[in-house]
Amino acid sequence: MTGERAGDYSCPRERAAPPEEPMQIVTSAYLEGNWGPVHDELDVPNLQVIGEIPRDLRGTFVRNGPNAQFAPIGRYHFFDGDGMIHAVRIEDGRASYRNRWVRTKGFQFEREAGRALWTGFAEPPNVAEPPHGMIYKNVANTAFALHGSQLYATWEGGPPHEIRLPALETVRMVDFDGRLDHPFTAHPKVDEVTGEMVFFGYTLWLPYIKYGVVGPDRRLDHYVQIPLDVPVMMHDFAITEHYSILLDLPYTFRMERMARGEVPLAFEKDRPSRFGILPRRGDASQVRWFELPACFIYHVWNAYEEGSRVVLLASRLAHTDVMGHSPEQAKRDYDGGRAWRFTFDLETGEAKEEQLDDAQADFTRIDDRLAGRKNRFGTAARFVPGADLPWIDGVVQYDFEKGRSDTHVFGKNRFGGEMVFAPREGATREDDGYVVGFVHDEGTGESEMIVLDAREIGRGPLARVRMPRRVPYGFHAAWVSA
């Protein structure tokens, strides 16, 4: 979805005061309890640590997520809230905390107005008279990309925003010197070997994507359009050493549904899933499409090459519905993601898929240094099956080579989010490091960041860093090594 118009601008650098009007209207479970927003921005040094933070863990854990600044216009969707970054900085066994909103152009306009100006994902936009000429507000609330020394806050409906550490300062919206004229995925892939950042972008009403490569010099130097049969929601993709894998899955947007009074975005169970493989700097004429039964993939672990074969590791759902058509549908959706391996043979044209595990797991992560190269390990958040909300009660560590897994369960009434791998200083092995992330105790109302040994996550936390306030449940996280 097209959000803010691309353009280079600087956001105010002073720390703004909290909104004068606190949220008063609750229209969604995602505005209540620890799903709901916080409104203050804190800087707290010397956090209490239970256990001991390893001395060879140095860097900053950052987590993005929706944090509504004002009461919504109409129905509120979990995707709608303004981006807020929560950060824990680790150094010499000590920890500090800071949180900041991502100060997008839309955020600033609403702060000046003292109220919400844009509708969200569950309401039709104001197309006739869009506020400030923008049909959608870029909320920059989804994930991160670390490209070289630059950290970007991302959202798949518009350009990324550059974030400066350690202050969490929003520097600017990035359009790569005016070349970016289309949405930018929330999950770009950074090749640590070549220094390239690979991305795509889609809109729900146009039957094509735009695919590009940003070089190590941060110049967008490859940018092409790739047609699709019908507009689809395409949240993630993958890269290998030489290829990119596009996910044309049957979660489609059709205007004729809207004309019939139906929700235009729907899963088509009888339509095949298509996986498009193209050279990293290829174009539409070089895409090879492979078909498999209908499914949906929100997040991939990784992809890599083995001779003539391309292997993709991902969390596969049998179907999905982000619009929440019914409570029963929502419960089925949360009981969806499982670890699967997909294999595509570029010589024979054969495509295969196989389920690897039965645990409901998504928010897939690997050691980011191995993006596009063969990985042995990967983590994922473990979801509670059949729940009314996407509760995460633990983290699973997969050994894809040996076909086994290890799990850390957060504990009674304790839930969390995406956990990420943080390599120890001087690490040479893929699993030589830690797994870190936020956990919230629904009983006490307290939040903490836990540190697990990546080789033995089932042993439980090496350290629990107590947060000075509750940290709302959110989306994706990243580790930025010192």
Q: Which of 368, 366, 367, 392 is nearest to 381 (CA)?
A: 392
**Token pair in block for residue 85:** 């970054």
Q: Is 39 annotated as a binding residue?
A: no
161 marked ligand binding residue: no
Q: Are 339 and 392 in contact (CB under 8 A)?
A: no
Does 476 show up as a binding residue in the annotation? yes
d(Cα 175, Cα 422) in Å, to the nearest integer? 29
Distance, CA of 391 to CA of 360 (rounded, Å): 11
CA 368 vs. chain centroid, Å, equals 14
Q: Which residue has the tokens 């895409």?
A: 287
408 appears as a binding residue in the annotation: no
Cα–Cα dist 238/311, whole Å: 10
Backbone region of residue 199 per phi and psi (left: phi > 0; alpha: psi in -120 to 50; beta: other values)? beta
Dihedral pair phi/psi, residue 284, rounded to 5°: -60, -35
> Cα–Cα distance between 175 and 58 in angstroms, integer?
31
Name the 3-class secondary structure at 123. coil
By residue count, the chain amounts to 482
Which residues carry a binding-site annotation for Fe cation? Answer: 187, 235, 299, 476
Annotated binding site: 187, 235, 299, 476
